[in-house]
Structure 1
């Protein structure tokens, strides 16, 4: 009986895929407009953005379709939707890391066209010459001779592959030869040519002499070969972790990062001019391809990783900043936690809690925690702003305390009026009390038929009046106060934000001029903290990078977002006039593939490798900018938002979801179905079995006679366990039938980094951005990412769901209770979790006003920060000779009525 019950239970909860046919047709029509083989990595097709209030407020209704026709026999299983949490989701065995092994990263650099040039490079290479001798010839030589010398240095960097027949031996040789190139006298001349060609090819419209394509091809070849040398040396250094400081110092000396950012900015406007027909420019579209944008973005991502540091250095830098800036119980553990991470609240949160507590219990004196006078003034003024220029209550440090309306109604969260001598609300006058006083804790509702009145006692959940009492204060209130006060701690990010905010208020009031930022570190800090020398040097490099590249960050953000857009998968799977070839069945066999199929997969590989570099750059810049100063991160996040990150990101995620669920039924534990998911199966990995697409096979083929054994084996992707379950523990019991052992690491890294970056742009209740995110209807894409269990996917997705939940209505919550349950099951609980409450209880116009004030206040503070500490760079934005804020300006005609 038990066995039959298990079998029936399992069969009952097998998931059938459901997608509305109209949604499929709409998305296919949009995706088919994209070229299958675009001329550049970035597709420039525009998508029409739709806005539907029902879709914004709630996710599409989920149901099980038992037929192909949605109008016939459509039924819904009670209590379930397509992705219900009681399903056994497959486990994705993936660990996040910014850098893969050397072979994988090195193969990503080359295209099939590049590999065909290996034989020519081998023929042109000069034997028996050291890198130092070649570098000396590189100085003060002609362009054509410089190209020949660069090819010789490139051949050495590639391990002199013409003499080696084993892949493992070639890998070792490349790493060893990279150490030979690792010197100032060799790398600096190469870096000089690299920098000059970047500027020349990106700034063609300002050239004095008319350009010709022959000269451009020569510059482009020099650029590519010099980037290949630098990429090889940087990659070998990062993977071996030897002489990282030395190489980073050489890159600092050459100022290559600043040059690359300037060149990217020039290239962006160069492409804009070449596409502008009314401009009458002499440039044509073929010119922009000489810049080698894909290689530039890939090299930039590795240089950011080299100069700033990986996740390990990022965590140690975070520990240093906590040690230096934070106070309270940061490194301690609360009793009974056994070393677990302790949840904390900010001093400002505690001040608001203490203010509410005193209003509820006037005879109680909670323990104090000092904050600055400006922050205390912000707390005491409640919803009023302490600034004439911006609404300070809408700033990120305290705006979450002002999301609720402060209307004097019996339903609001304000404490009730109390008698001065007792901590409890005043009693009613009599049982027949019929007053309609707003201060009463009784609400009387009269029936429409004129019958008796119904009395409802309104409770205050924020001020629980629980027994037993100790003197005049409930014991529960005293215990909560002790817990909150013991866990007060201010993060270094909040300290950085508060420091700029207080400088802004002081300068506005005419109290003092802002001084040098407290969070810029010098050599004296390294002398005081020699154990944190690496962390301080990284912070110095981030500061220098932000200062020197501030005018170019917007162009970088725009190009990185376009790379995300270019990776939207076109609709496939159906034979048509536009697509005469049916896709091959997965997993692929390279011997059965035509040249068309190989080229198609190679194009996908090129785009995906470029996207990984773009996502790594976005993620690392956001993280390191936060370490340097929170407003640096907020500025870069602002640029990503302004360049439509949300729309392009969820187009990208949605295209993979549609490819995975093209059929009418979908089983999450069916390996054949899972192969359609790009996170599970790497389509183009089969190309690495051919020397036409694999650098190491192509390089060793000059000395190898026998064919090499295949590297790709699709049978190792899954591990399927057919044993019956002992128990069913929703949503994931660790005993799923299917485990994905070898997922597509590159795509998983892209998803992880983009999701974490998405959360950084909306965190701390950025209201306008959250509403903008809701407009792209992200719910189904986020739910789809939870159908494979992996903590790297789950954590950012659940953080996003928890953040957007208060801004959705009851219908959205009722349709997405599985997502809410996921947050409870898999995400940590805070000390004051009110995310299931409606934060906005006022009308639409008030919501728009609050969201506008929130975004305006943040942007104003960002402008003040950049104009105060980076005034020399603000000239490039048109802000020249910005006058400081003075007290006199507030007594002009426009301010007289407000003072």
Structure 2
């Protein structure tokens, strides 16, 4: 097929360049015209569909007897994942994922009466100065009462009793004592980790952590007594203590501290104290409203195409170069509060050719005269009456055996082109209409204004105009935030969230590097180190190898116990990964809402911790892994691509062990299930399909790993946030990991907006740095970008990049960004930066 396409290309080139020689050059293909060859191509493709699997489109037969593809093919049956991204999965699942089998054995010792005298805390004996170095009956009593481990009639009744007990705990002033005791104990461990490393101390810390985790989950779900719990958590500052604890654990690893549980607690505290995704959207709209930005109104109007201030400035410069005699470059018709006023025009330092600032590289306007290609074109000749005709082309050396020369009709757009227009209309009407359209649609967001303000302060310090470290530290007074849309109560919640984010960032700044390193190790360690198909065969009694050979009962029990512990470790890794991915994406988004440079700094820490390579390696292990697939003799009817798309961590069921379920254990249901599924055995081509309105085969997929889908969505959103617009260095770094093939598998095989949107954004940033062959073979991806993502008035991302200039300046861009981040952190948080070894010279 490829040879036939090459033959067609050669024939077209010869017919176009040398029509007089066409009869001599086409004697070998006289019997087949160009239309016949295209028809043959279509028939061959149709025969491949009929003779092969319904799940494939094209492909040959490999040496192993399976149909393989030269590239990744399309699925004729398009699977739609019925997944809705949420920050949490409900109270029952959150409580179940917290406990492991080792915790369930302690519940047998906690069969206590649930009548506790909360009115008399002194009689109960629980106080913040308890000694946790030895076993504490007060902690055990409170632990068992909050979890309601005694017999319940049903799971619904059990959840209701847990909710009631948590409400009593908050009502009778025991909440403050629990938080103070836990916070002080963790601070003692941070100060002297070797002293507080006993087994009793670790057990008491785990029980207190469980109580706090259950309280936060119950209050966040029931939406009751949230103010009381929020004030108590703010006074204890547990959200700040946990990163310090993880840093101490990284330096002195011990089994006393269960870091996995603290990651789960940290994620719930972020959602509770900062806010979830819906609350984050309300905070962003409030900030836009208070800074007179119409972006909030424009988001609701999806049909409105917008233009960024940087693109607007570049286009104005291009128009001024092409029509230098007109005054259309002046900003005279811009609506108030919108784009760029005349006084703000000087903020683009590229306006001044004598300006040499490091921050010029952050938002460099890509004008035509600055494009590298323009320097390679001849200078355009000016004529006062008529345009000069293009110069004659050089005769081709193809006739004498040389290489064929393609004709180029480029015009140097960077040079003025003066036409004798009438004095009444020096600029064409179409250009004037385009200018007015841009004037009315240019928008800037709150992050853009924050970044530009910091650039101005940095340039003052850079040029010695004034001491930039004496600038005001806060550009927004939280008490001044008001809204005509939100209620006063909602506005107060937004203020509290922003203040909490600021406090968390300022106090945890020195711990970010270690915190991110530990989270990267969680992602990199999430690999199936055991074959799931072997576990599935041995765990199920009807397929067990030991049962077939009638092994003794003791050996069988020991083997099954070891296998269940292995499965439980995989389940614990998946749950911890879900919490870590949620922490990363929520921190990036909340830091961005507080200040754009906070998000940039945290993203820089992620980049320095090799997030891109760890992420792509994780995606590869999760999809292209033999440990997640069945044996070859069981997949003989499937092609390698179908196996890759059907048997992975996304399509395989979530690991569930009912005998280790918290609620089932408390209800006394400890019997093992009859059959446990670990692998997906139904490919897309065998699922029940139906035709949609467009006549396409659609498969509605409801059985898949929802938790892993949430992890994928979070990590892709993190990767998209790290790839900053107009910053080429990180795009090149990410492109070196070869991510496009893996992302294309997910994009084309699983239809879901929450999962595909960040992938398409990443593809949009990577596509300009791919070759022409890649673009030609991935037009389906490029088409999806135009169809799915929001368009802008200047969508030239596909072919408008100056790649040579980007490669030359990418490293300098990263240096400029890090210099600006260091300036911001040194001015805003000098005490925290001193812990990192950076101080200001006196």
Measured against the shorter chain, the TM-score band is: 0.7 to 0.9
C-alpha distance in 1 between matches for 2:232 and 2:682: 42
Partner of 1:220: 202
Judged with a 3 Å threshold, the aligned counterparts in structure 2 of structure 1 residues 541 and 727 are, in CA distance, closer, same or farther, namely closer
Residues 826, 839 of structure 2: 8 Å contact kept = no
1:611 and 2:571 correspond = no
Residues 380, 411 of structure 2: 8 Å contact kept = no
1:551 and 2:510 correspond = yes
1:677 and 2:648 correspond = yes
After superposition, the C-alpha distances for 1:726-764 in whole angstroms (9 at most, x for unaligned) are 8876xxx4x41x221133221111110110011100121
Partner of 2:222: 240
Judged with a 3 Å threshold, the aligned counterparts in structure 2 of structure 1 residues 599 and 721 are, in CA distance, closer, same or farther, namely closer
1:759 and 2:725 correspond = no
RMSD: 4.1
C-alpha distance in 2 between matches for 1:811 and 1:507: 47
Partner of 1:64: 59
Partner of 1:102: 91
More moved, 828-837 vs 550-559: 828-837
Judged with a 3 Å threshold, the aligned counterparts in structure 2 of structure 1 residues 427 and 570 are, in CA distance, closer, same or farther, namely same
More moved, 181-190 vs 805-814: 181-190
Judged with a 3 Å threshold, the aligned counterparts in structure 2 of structure 1 residues 870 and 700 are, in CA distance, closer, same or farther, namely same
User: Post-superposition shift, 1:512?
Assistant: 4.1
Residues 132, 185 of structure 1: 8 Å contact kept = no
Residues 250, 518 of structure 2: 8 Å contact kept = yes
Partner of 1:427: 387
1:816 and 2:778 correspond = yes
**Secondary structure of the equivalent of 2:649?**
coil
Residues 578, 710 of structure 2: 8 Å contact kept = yes
Match of 1:797 among 748, 759, 767: 759
Match of 2:231 among 242, 249, 274: 249
Residues 321, 415 of structure 2: 8 Å contact kept = no
The correspondence of residues 655-804 of structure 1 with structure 2, limited to 5 A, is: 655-659=621-625, 676-685=647-656, 687-688=657-658, 690=659, 693-701=660-668, 722=688, 725=691, 733=696, 735-736=697-698, 738-786=699-747, 787-804=749-766
After superposition, the C-alpha distances for 1:210-269 in whole angstroms (9 at most, x for unaligned) are x48xx6212211210110000000000111222223211111000111111111122222
Partner of 1:457: 409
What is the number of residues matched between the two proteins? 757
Partner of 1:82: 72
Judged with a 3 Å threshold, the aligned counterparts in structure 2 of structure 1 residues 672 and 599 are, in CA distance, closer, same or farther, namely farther
Judged with a 3 Å threshold, the aligned counterparts in structure 2 of structure 1 residues 856 and 665 are, in CA distance, closer, same or farther, namely farther
Residues 198, 263 of structure 1: 8 Å contact kept = yes
**Secondary structure of the equivalent of 1:94?**
coil
User: Post-superposition shift, 1:448?
Assistant: 3.7
User: Post-superposition shift, 1:63?
Assistant: 8.4
User: Post-superposition shift, 1:13?
Assistant: 7.0
After superposition, the C-alpha distances for 1:132-165 in whole angstroms (9 at most, x for unaligned) are 627753233333677321111111211x221423
User: Post-superposition shift, 1:572?
Assistant: 3.2
**Secondary structure of the equivalent of 1:486?**
helix
- Given the two structures, how large is their TM-score scaled by the length of structure 1? 0.76
Judged with a 3 Å threshold, the aligned counterparts in structure 2 of structure 1 residues 882 and 532 are, in CA distance, closer, same or farther, namely farther
Residues 718, 739 of structure 1: 8 Å contact kept = no
Partner of 2:825: 866
The correspondence of residues 855-894 of structure 1 with structure 2, limited to 5 A, is: 855-883=814-842
Residues 718, 742 of structure 1: 8 Å contact kept = no
**Secondary structure of the equivalent of 2:150?**
helix
C-alpha distance in 1 between matches for 2:450 and 2:251: 34
1:602 and 2:568 correspond = yes
Partner of 1:321: 287
Judged with a 3 Å threshold, the aligned counterparts in structure 2 of structure 1 residues 371 and 161 are, in CA distance, closer, same or farther, namely farther
Judged with a 3 Å threshold, the aligned counterparts in structure 2 of structure 1 residues 869 and 744 are, in CA distance, closer, same or farther, namely same
1:386 and 2:356 correspond = yes
**Secondary structure of the equivalent of 1:89?**
strand
1:230 and 2:212 correspond = yes
More moved, 492-501 vs 802-811: 802-811
Partner of 2:26: none
Partner of 1:853: 812
C-alpha distance in 1 between matches for 2:187 and 2:222: 31
Residues 80, 700 of structure 2: 8 Å contact kept = yes
**Secondary structure of the equivalent of 1:457?**
coil
Judged with a 3 Å threshold, the aligned counterparts in structure 2 of structure 1 residues 322 and 518 are, in CA distance, closer, same or farther, namely same
User: Post-superposition shift, 1:828?
Assistant: 2.8
Mark the runs of 5 or more structure 1 residues left unpaired by the alignment: 18-61, 272-287, 432-440, 574-580, 884-899
C-alpha distance in 1 between matches for 2:405 and 2:187: 80
The correspondence of residues 410-559 of structure 1 with structure 2, limited to 5 A, is: 411=377, 416=380, 418=382, 427-428=387-388, 442=391, 444-448=393-397, 456-459=408-411, 471-513=425-467, 514-525=470-481, 530=488, 532-559=491-518
More moved, 244-253 vs 397-406: 397-406
C-alpha distance in 2 between matches for 1:464 and 1:711: 73
C-alpha distance in 1 between matches for 2:477 and 2:145: 39
User: Post-superposition shift, 1:683?
Assistant: 3.8
Partner of 1:645: 611
Residues 90, 669 of structure 1: 8 Å contact kept = no
Higher relative contact order (CA 8 A, sep 6+): 1
Residues 307, 443 of structure 2: 8 Å contact kept = yes
**Secondary structure of the equivalent of 2:839?**
coil
After superposition, the C-alpha distances for 1:777-834 in whole angstroms (9 at most, x for unaligned) are 1112101211111111110111101101112222332343332233233333222112
After superposition, the C-alpha distances for 1:552-593 in whole angstroms (9 at most, x for unaligned) are 1111111111110111233737xxxxxxx834269x858867
C-alpha distance in 2 between matches for 1:670 and 1:509: 59
C-alpha distance in 2 between matches for 1:168 and 1:453: 78
Residues 447, 453 of structure 1: 8 Å contact kept = yes
C-alpha distance in 2 between matches for 1:584 and 1:198: 41
Mark the runs of 5 or more structure 2 residues left unpaired by the alignment: 1-42, 332-339, 545-559
Match of 2:104 among 92, 115, 121: 115
Partner of 2:335: none
More moved, 641-650 vs 527-536: 527-536
Match of 1:833 among 772, 784, 795: 795
C-alpha distance in 1 between matches for 2:174 and 2:313: 60
More moved, 372-381 vs 824-833: 372-381
C-alpha distance in 2 between matches for 1:489 and 1:445: 47
Residues 592, 598 of structure 2: 8 Å contact kept = yes
Residues 261, 556 of structure 1: 8 Å contact kept = yes
More moved, 830-839 vs 636-645: 830-839
Partner of 2:149: 161
Residues 201, 291 of structure 1: 8 Å contact kept = no
Higher helix share: 2
